[in-house]
Amino acid sequence: MGVTVNGVAVDTGGFPSAEAAAAHELLRQRAVALGLAAEGGRREEAERAIERLLEREVAVPEPGEAECRRYYDAHPEEFASGELAFARHILFQVTPGTPVPALRARAESVLAELAQDPSRFEALARELSNCPSGQHGGNLGQLGRGDTVPEFEQPLFNGAYTGVYPQLVKTRFGFHILAVDRRAPGRRVPFEAVRGRIAERMRGRTQQTALAQYVTLLAGQAEIRGADLAAAATPLVQ
């Protein structure tokens, strides 16, 4: 079944979901109703009209000093400079044609084995790892933030633990068993140096929430078929 908004058929091509396409059409129709766009106009004109609509109707409050300070105090790990972790890993690489469920099961089995006997990490890395570091027992040396892909960095610096990480780490390369041997704490960056970055992050989150609420309000006044905006936590729009 296709997607329609107030009887208008929606082309879902180029959108991440039916909900995103329906939300975009809702906004376009609202822009037309307010005289910000002409019915039947080109896609580029509709996009500009939607931008004007959101500027006009979706208020995004600027985060204040106190809000930014609370975020800074609540997330000290995000604002450390020079933090290092001395780590090892065992990579179970995913390549074209790899039976992923079987590979994951094998990695989970090895992780369970290491949870019982961490001393076998080096031997198993030499035997099983698909990374060149396997020849050195999986040793990656010292790593700082930004040295690895984000999906590996997050668990690497997620807390102050040492030893074998209790879950597999999934990255674009495959499944990793991660171990941290020791850490060198970093220096906390002063609030004044990251105030702008925090404000931008908080503004983006607030904007997404306000936009989702606005789309939900429009959806409650519209007839939508083929997409459930009420069930979509954050209907994406372009």
pLDDT, one tens digit per residue, over 144-201 is 988 999 999 999 988 788 999 999 999 999 999 999 999 988 788 899 999 998 999 8
* pLDDT per position as a tens digit, 96-153: 888 899 999 999 999 999 999 999 999 999 999 999 999 999 999 999 988 999 999 9
In a domain, 146, yes or no: yes
In a domain, 76, yes or no: no
Q: Which residue has the higher pLDDT, 17 or 181?
A: 181
What pLDDT is stored for residue 77 in this prediction? 73
What pLDDT is stored for residue 237 in this prediction? 44
Torsion of CA 75, 76, 79, 82, to 10 degrees: -140
Residue 238 clears pLDDT 70, i.e. is over it: no
In a domain, 31, yes or no: yes
- CATH number of the domain residue 159 falls in: 3.10.50.40
Domain span at 210: 3-63+193-225
Residue 231 clears pLDDT 70, i.e. is over it: no
For residues 38 and 123, state if they share a domain. no
Whether the predicted model's global pTM rises above the 0.85 cut: no
What pLDDT is stored for residue 43 in this prediction? 79
Torsion of CA 13, 14, 15, 16, to 10 degrees: 110
